[in-house]
Structure 1
């Protein structure tokens, strides 16, 4: 998990630092105007969405070790290159390449967690990934504050050093991961033989369906026909509009509230830290009680309250407080929802496709979130905040529909079991013996 967290930290630092760079001259130096900045954020998500599933299939086939290490080395080099762009076209090119190499990171790690840990222990592991995303925002703000204080050096602007230094750090750590990240738990260098046998017994006990290295086409069809996938994707899509908008534009929103560029960078730090604490508490409770749905109710409500405040008032202090509420709701929701879907999807080939498609479809929201905060809506960005509020509301509705769907399936299974039926002709999570996690 520390190595997984490190990969996520590197990925999201290299992805979202563009928001920090924006507040100290990135747009002006590359000749961007109007909605150009929004567009380069959007272009990132096109390859990001298209190539998530192929990356997960590669990880399933060859293991997460060298597949993800190759990705991090490549995107680190691209991040360094971003520090030397001089035009809008060059910026688009590096963002598209960055989207391609970062595409499989999160769904691949989520799938890996689902293969190793039992259902009731997965939320806190997925939470490590989402907490790392939030902390990357805090660290990114702190790092940007330090780089901005440093100013121009050797003829390069501060924003250029932001990309170069972060890219070099990612490159070095990515090379370390190439050596240290195992292909599977059974081959992990940090486990002794007894611990490896324990891992195998845990996997066999909690994942009774036979795993295959290759992709089972029949299970892919099972995944594509399951309405559970599309309802969950709708919920994650709507909540991710707020998540991606928050991660990319928080410094912009804070500056629009009346804070200076320097203040916008360092004031984002406590917001992300609070979001991390909220995620940790929510997922701990969710795992401890083995409850998912109930933890998916209060989190969008926090987001709705936060965005309602910034839509309703332009008060500086109230807006800053609202960002704490929004962050405290956005990150836990996505964590628990992804875990809930993973818990309720079997066998492994179906789960690999469902997780990849779930996150791919949800990440398509990046195309929308990149456009909801255009510069001409400054300073309050009412439209973007209202869209994020609506997304949280629809996500909450989808949770209710998901709960109703799983309850309906459990009633049907119980009815057939009461009739002494041995089978309903279905496999995996749709079979009679599988018990859904609520």
Structure 2
């Protein structure tokens, strides 16, 4: 990676656009370029084919392993739903299944921000595999539990161990990809959750037949074998998870230069920013961070209650346990396809929030069908609709902070805050999916489905506020730039860029996404 000349102005270089070989200049940072050679800051040139090869290499180094780890994390947190219909609750005498599910998210919420800060202080190849190894061991421990109190304790620490993986993975993507490319990779990551649902059904169907082997019931073997799988992958992950591009040995000096050129357009990934409490304070004081968090809060209710209770809901339609395990597979497979299709459409259109809102409305439609359909077939079809809306919406909304927040420590903190505050919605969902629900009979979970609609409505409201507020702020900054350009007169250059130069590098880094030349993705 090329060193930065202290006498140069890297902030100006960030604001400058790429120039094609034909001399066409992008007017805004991050704008897509035409084919041909590219030049960044008049020093680094590379062809479109070089860029494509490098992006493919980055994709292969980051996406498969991080998606695999997230698939395993979702598998190890949600397989309790498969274990339930195989006799877990009865065998351990669990009095409150909803509380058992919620204790996981209590640990998850508590550890979210600290875990991402540890990632900032260490490195991805050390921290993420270590987390995976720990929760794999804990997952095996679930299968060894003999008392109700044991499984509560292990589920709590399982949440603590898994807390840092998803926000940490999103943070890693922000260090490799320009802003406009991140949401697609995050969607691939979350597609691992949908894929884990299908895998969980297949594995549970087969593993449950081991009931009695070694004197252990089938549900115990579900935890043990899936936990052992996680342990094996975690050990390999120490050699597979990539380090940050500027220190990674997997890229040539030329490739590091191109990565630097790509990121310099609209990212702070090249800054050598040490951990700082100012970035943490900025995240906690930013109202947009809370809206990102409330958005996930609204959608997380459905994401986790659906994944944890789907086997129970299907079994409640009159199917045997082995049939319910298999019938969970098709809805998750459709959710995977829809999630990737919506992510691609969002990328092509260049919009995020309108697709998030649309996905939430689709999920609401699914819940309405589930509550009102008089037929077994209609109720089963409804879970396809819910899965499609819930997973596609969450895949897009979880990438928003990584695209819209500048300042590495602030972004790492905000990503963790989004998951932590969002997963309070998951706690609510797991506690409110029970029969009866207080004094309410809650037949077929209909009252719980209605509450899921309310939570999704809250998420849609948060998305609508973000759409309005971020769009208004972009227009305000555009108008300010236009007015200052007009005041300076033609030929004086771009007023916003000149203003960034006047502010100075340290001040611009402190401002982060509040700097005058920053535009939010909506």
Short-chain TM bin: over 0.9
Q: Which segment drifts farther, 186-195 or 352-361?
A: 186-195
Of 94, 100, 103, the residue aligned with 2:160 is: 100
Structure 1 partner of 2:40: none
Structure 2 partner of 1:138: 198
Q: Which segment drifts farther, 39-48 or 225-234?
A: 225-234
Structure 2 partner of 1:25: 87
Separation in 1, partners of 2:106, 2:233: 27
Q: 1:6 to 1:188 in 2, by over 3 A?
A: farther
Question: Which runs of 5 or more residues in structure 2 are unaligned?
Answer: 1-62, 485-494
Q: Is the 8 A contact 1:314 1:380 kept in 2?
A: no
Q: 1:323 to 1:399 in 2, by over 3 A?
A: same
As a proportion of its length, which structure holds more helix? 1
Q: Is the 8 A contact 1:115 1:348 kept in 2?
A: no
Separation in 2, partners of 1:76, 1:189: 28
**1:260-279, aligned counterparts within 5 Å?**
260-279=320-339
Q: Does 1:324 align with 2:324?
A: no
Superposed CA deviations along residues 153-176 of structure 1, whole A, max 9, x for unmatched, are 121111111111111111111111
Separation in 1, partners of 2:337, 2:319: 25
Structure 2 partner of 1:301: 361
Q: Which segment drifts farther, 268-277 or 388-397?
A: 388-397
Which one has more relative contact order, counting CA pairs under 8 Å at least 6 apart?
1
Structure 2 partner of 1:112: 172
Q: CA deviation at 1:404?
A: 0.8
Separation in 2, partners of 1:209, 1:276: 30
Q: Does 1:245 align with 2:296?
A: no
Question: Which runs of 5 or more residues in structure 1 are unaligned?
Answer: none
Separation in 2, partners of 1:180, 1:113: 15
Separation in 2, partners of 1:149, 1:315: 31
Q: CA deviation at 1:43?
A: 0.7
Q: Does 1:335 align with 2:395?
A: yes
Q: Is the 8 A contact 1:257 1:315 kept in 2?
A: no
Q: Which segment drifts farther, 57-66 or 67-76?
A: 57-66
Separation in 1, partners of 2:304, 2:388: 14
Q: Is the 8 A contact 2:263 2:269 kept in 1?
A: no
RMSD: 1.9
Q: Is the 8 A contact 1:182 1:189 kept in 2?
A: no
Structure 1 partner of 2:266: 206
Of 131, 140, 143, the residue aligned with 1:71 is: 131
Separation in 2, partners of 1:84, 1:150: 15
Q: Is the 8 A contact 1:60 1:213 kept in 2?
A: no
Of 229, 239, 261, the residue aligned with 2:289 is: 229
SS of 2:303 mapped into structure 1:
helix
Q: 1:273 to 1:416 in 2, by over 3 A?
A: same
Separation in 2, partners of 1:328, 1:393: 17
TM-score (norm 2): 0.80
Q: CA deviation at 1:44?
A: 0.8
Structure 1 or 2, whichever has the larger Rg, is: 2
**1:79-228, aligned counterparts within 5 Å?**
79-188=139-248, 190-208=250-268, 211-228=271-288
Q: Does 1:435 align with 2:435?
A: no
Q: Which segment drifts farther, 163-172 or 287-296?
A: 287-296
Superposed CA deviations along residues 256-283 of structure 1, whole A, max 9, x for unmatched, are 2222211111111010010010100011
Separation in 2, partners of 1:216, 1:200: 23
Separation in 1, partners of 2:442, 2:460: 28
Separation in 2, partners of 1:250, 1:401: 31
Q: Is the 8 A contact 1:257 1:314 kept in 2?
A: no
Q: Which segment drifts farther, 218-227 or 125-134?
A: 218-227
Q: CA deviation at 1:207?
A: 1.3
Q: CA deviation at 1:213?
A: 4.5
